[in-house]
Amino acid sequence: MHSRTRIKVCGITTVEDAKEAIRAGVDAIGFIFAEKSPRYISPEKVKEIVAQLPPFVHLVGVFVDSDPVEVQEIIDYCGLTHVQLHGSEDAEYCQKLAQAATPCRLLKAFRVGSQTMAADFTPYEDSVKGYLLDTFVQGQEGGTGKAFDWSMIESLGLKLPILLAGGISVENVAAAIKTVRPFAVDVNSGVEEEPGKKDHAKLQQFVELVRSVDRELASAV
Ligand SMILES: O=C(O)c1ccccc1N[C@@H]1O[C@H](COP(=O)(O)O)[C@@H](O)[C@H]1O
């Protein structure tokens, strides 16, 4: 039985984009705290945006190899519900942060390239709630706009929910859902006018497309 594909829209930098994403029907919005990102947003700005949002929306902070004490402070300050660890944080880092950050939940990103094929996911199973699979591109931390070969995911034998990221857009999200059947899709540069500014029409189209694929899969015998 197919269940609804959750949608996370990442790289939100304005209250207008956050409200529009929620109006369109996304489940989660992501804020990027990696300073090198063109989508970087300060904790102060996130707090200001979050104060203006309705309830029942997941709020995800994206970090790349940040000091765990700083991550904890930002979780508390902004009221984040989830943290996406998008660097090379090891299982020990995740275990310690998971204990300190509860009830905020952790998602561990893996950038799929030749190394990920051999990655051992097992040590993360107790401390994170899902694996976000993104595309590995040398020299870039994330937000590459490039998809990877989804057919290799099955061979990883993952035991936690999969959040599929990496170049997801209106062009490929239907195929992505049908191929991978992920718990969630993560869209970022695929619905942008420019880095950090969402295209509202594309965002709406993206959400409608995901819902229509969900209906199709739910009605299939
Ligand atoms: O988007 C960024 O600039 C970024 C920077 C540092 C870490 C993560 C970042 N984004 C994450 O990348 C994936 C995929 O993005 P895209 O769809 O390929 O543009 C997404 O999970 C973002 O959270």
Beta-carbon contacts of residue 21 (< 8 Å; ≥ 6 apart): 9, 12, 29, 198, 203
Known active-site residue 104: no
Does 213 reside within a domain? Answer: yes
Does 115 reside within a domain? Answer: yes
Does 197 reside within a domain? Answer: yes
User: pLDDT > 70: what percent of the chain?
Assistant: 97
Q: Which of 17, 94, 134, 186 is catalytic?
A: 134
Complex ipTM more than 0.95, yes or no: yes
| pTM for this prediction | 0.96
Report CA-CA distances (Å) from 215 to 2, 14, 87, 207, 212: 9, 31, 35, 12, 5
CA distance 166 to 168: 6
| pLDDT range class, residue 130, cuts 50, 70, 90 | very high
Does 1 reside within a domain? Answer: no
Q: What is the mean pLDDT of the chain?
A: 95
Beta bridge partners of 7: 185
CB count within 10 Å of CB 3 equals: 10
Does 26 reside within a domain? Answer: yes
Ligand 1 atom showing the smallest separation from residue 87 Cα: 7
Q: Find the domain containing 43 and state its range.
A: 6-219
Known active-site residue 10: yes
Domain of 10: which CATH number? 3.20.20.70
Ligand 1 pocket, Cβ-based, cut-off 6 angstroms: 10-11, 30, 32, 34, 37-39, 62, 64, 86, 132, 134, 141-145, 165-168, 186-190
Domain count, the chain: 1
Q: Which of 10, 78, 94, 104 is catalytic?
A: 10
Does 37 reside within a domain? Answer: yes
Does 107 reside within a domain? Answer: yes
